[in-house]
Structure 1
Amino acid sequence: MSIIENREFEGERPLFYQKDLSLSKIKVLNGESAIKECINVTCTDSSFNGKYPFWHADIAQIEKCVFETGARAAIWYSKNLTMKDCQVIAPKMFRRCSGLKLLNVDFTDAQETLWDCTDIRVNNIKAVHADYIFMNSSDIEVENFELHGNYSFQNCSNVKIKNSNLETKDAFWEAKNVTVENCTISGEFLGWHSENLTLINCKIKGTQPLCYAKNLKIINCTFDEDCDLAFEYSSVDAEIKGHVTSIKNPLTGRIRVDSVGEIISDANAKAPNDCVIEVVNE
């Protein structure tokens, strides 16, 4: 394996198409595509401030590195990549990648990050300014995730999320086969147009949650007082602890709740309009 330490690189493609490469304490300055088309690369204790450094990389391990603002769109079209103990300041990290493992990574500008990726494992991650994170991605496992950003997990499929705090408007729109467990989810219009969304032991906040959903399952969840007009036009099987402010025009299924402020069934209800609502403490 070739070893490069304590070097600075700039310009276009300074380390293009390298194989079996160990990088330590390097700096990638202005320029583009510094480590493009590389295979079997490890990189530690380094910093990046040039665009597109890891495009089309295969089997890369990145540890204790910083991706500065200039390193936007840093890792695209890559596979079998592990990132650990890193700070990512640049936006648009990860596109069309597969086989990603992220551990202890801090994203300070995660806008449009992790798009069109597959086979993703995430643990102990913080992402802020994270609008549209995980869009169109699939086969995702997430744990200990702190998310601050809207429109997350749109059009995703095969997703498992545990023990996380998600502050996100319009999350899980048109998502399929998603399970969220032991999480707090704060944001308006949660899970609209989703299919096979399951929420277990979650605390839900935000107006008009879980509308237009197919095969929605709620298990032992609580709803904040601002969760009004819930379940409109959804097929749902729900066990809700505590109080729900209002339920409006659920399509079909069953909802069991301790108490509810208002059940709305108006002229806009749609067939089959046969959802059974059981109020335990009525």
Structure 2
Amino acid sequence: MKVVEKQTLDKERALYGSKDIIINECIFDGPADGESAVKESSDVQVNKCFFNLRYPFWHVHQLTIRDSEMTSLCRAALWYSDHVEVTGTKMHGIKAFRECSDVVIRNCDIISPEFGWSVRNIEMVDSVAESEYFMMRSENITFKNVTFKGKYSFQYIKNAIFENCNFDTKDAFWHGENVTVRNSVVKGEYLAWYADGLTFDNCKIIGTQPLCYCKNLKLKNCEMIETDLCFEKSEVEAQIITPIISVKNPLAGTITAPKVGEIIMDDENAKGTIEISNNLKFSKSE
């Protein structure tokens, strides 16, 4: 394999079309301000490099990046690439990932608005991320031990599993399909409206007006903190282990909780049932 080591590269397409290449301890920065450094390459290994220029990894096949840094000026770093593994790396440029496939991200620090759009088959583990519109329209997602802060996250995603995660985000999971969240904390207002096939298992949910207009919604052994006007127009089966401030017009299904501060049933189409732990039941017919 060709080895490029300890060089400063700033020309346009500096390593364009490379094959079987190892890039060690290089700096992609300089007055030439060149773009697309490693575009259209394959079988690329990157170790301990610094990227301060735009679009370095477009249309790259078989890419490994370790212990590197992409600054805020490294915009749109990885687009249209496949079989990508990124470990121990800072990704701080806007739109860092888009339309990639077969991606593994481990132990990374991500600050990137519009990160991860239309990505297929992605695993993220032991990472921290901050973004807006995070992972929109992506499919086949597995997250473990990920901490996220932002807004409008995970919208329109399909086929996803999240485990041991901590999310502080508004408007998360809107229009999501076939999504499971386990052993996690999800904080933020207007959670998961219009989702279909969403399951929360042993989770803590915090914030106003969650889980409205959902289909095939399930909650198992979950806490709901500071949650009001929950489940409006949703088809839901929920087992809640903490009091709920209020429930409004669940369309169908059963919600079980130790206490509900207010039950609002003023829609004739709302047929859902609320069961209190002392076995009292409330539904529209009552």
Report if TM-score (shorter chain) is over 0.5: yes
1:48 has 2:51 as partner: yes
Alignment of structure 1 residues 200-215 onto 2, 5 Å? 200-215=201-216
Which residue number in structure 1 is paired with residue 114 of structure 2?
112
Which residue number in structure 1 is paired with residue 20 of structure 2?
20
Alpha-carbon deviations, 1:229-282, whole Å to 9, x = none? Answer: 00000000000002000000000011111111011011xx252x2212111136
Q: Of 271, 275, 279, which aligns to 2:272?
A: 275
Alignment of structure 1 residues 73-84 onto 2, 5 Å? 73-84=76-87
Which residue number in structure 2 is paired with residue 121 of structure 1?
123
Which residue number in structure 1 is paired with residue 37 of structure 2?
34
SS in structure 1 opposite 2:239?
strand
1:174 has 2:171 as partner: no
Alignment of structure 1 residues 56-205 onto 2, 5 Å? 56-107=59-110, 109-128=111-130, 130-205=131-206
Alpha-carbon deviations, 1:107-156, whole Å to 9, x = none? Answer: 1x22100001000000011012x110000000000000100000100000
Name which of structure 1's ranges 171-180 and 7-16 shifts more when overlaid on structure 2.
Answer: 7-16
Which residue number in structure 2 is paired with residue 223 of structure 1?
224
Name the Cα RMSD after superposition.
Answer: 0.8
Which residue number in structure 1 is paired with residue 253 of structure 2?
253
SS in structure 1 opposite 2:143?
strand
- Uncovered stretches (5+) of structure 2, i.e. residues with no partner: 281-286
Question: TM-score if structure 2 supplies the norm length?
Answer: 0.95
Percent identity between the two aligned chains = 40
Which amino acid is 1:103 matched to?
R
Aligned length: 276
SS in structure 2 opposite 1:245?
strand
Name which of structure 1's ranges 84-93 and 146-155 shifts more when overlaid on structure 2.
Answer: 84-93
Alpha-carbon deviations, 1:170-228, whole Å to 9, x = none? Answer: 0000000000000110000001000000000000111000000001000000111x200
SS in structure 2 opposite 1:102?
strand
Which residue number in structure 1 is paired with residue 284 of structure 2?
none
Name the CA distance, whole Å, in 2 between partners of 1:132 and 1:89.
15
SS in structure 2 opposite 1:253?
strand
SS in structure 2 opposite 1:149?
strand
Name the CA distance, whole Å, in 2 between partners of 1:86 and 1:14.
21
Distance apart, 1:14 and its partner CA: 1.0
Contact 1:251 1:270 in 2 (8 A): no
Name the CA distance, whole Å, in 2 between partners of 1:184 and 1:18.
43
Name the CA distance, whole Å, in 1 between partners of 2:274 and 2:160.
29
In the TM superposition, structure 1's runs of 4+ consecutive aligned residues that sit over 4 Å from their partners are none
Alpha-carbon deviations, 1:16-62, whole Å to 9, x = none? Answer: 10100001001111210000000000000110011000000000000
Which residue number in structure 2 is paired with residue 262 of structure 1?
262
Distance apart, 1:11 and its partner CA: 2.1
Describe the shift of the 1:38–1:223 C-alpha distance in structure 2 as closer, same or farther (beyond 3 A). Answer: same
Name the CA distance, whole Å, in 2 between partners of 1:176 and 1:189.
17
Name the CA distance, whole Å, in 1 between partners of 2:163 and 2:116.
18
Which amino acid is 2:76 matched to?
A
SS in structure 2 opposite 1:60?
strand
Contact 1:106 1:125 in 2 (8 A): yes
Which amino acid is 1:114 matched to?
G
Which residue number in structure 2 is paired with residue 238 of structure 1?
238
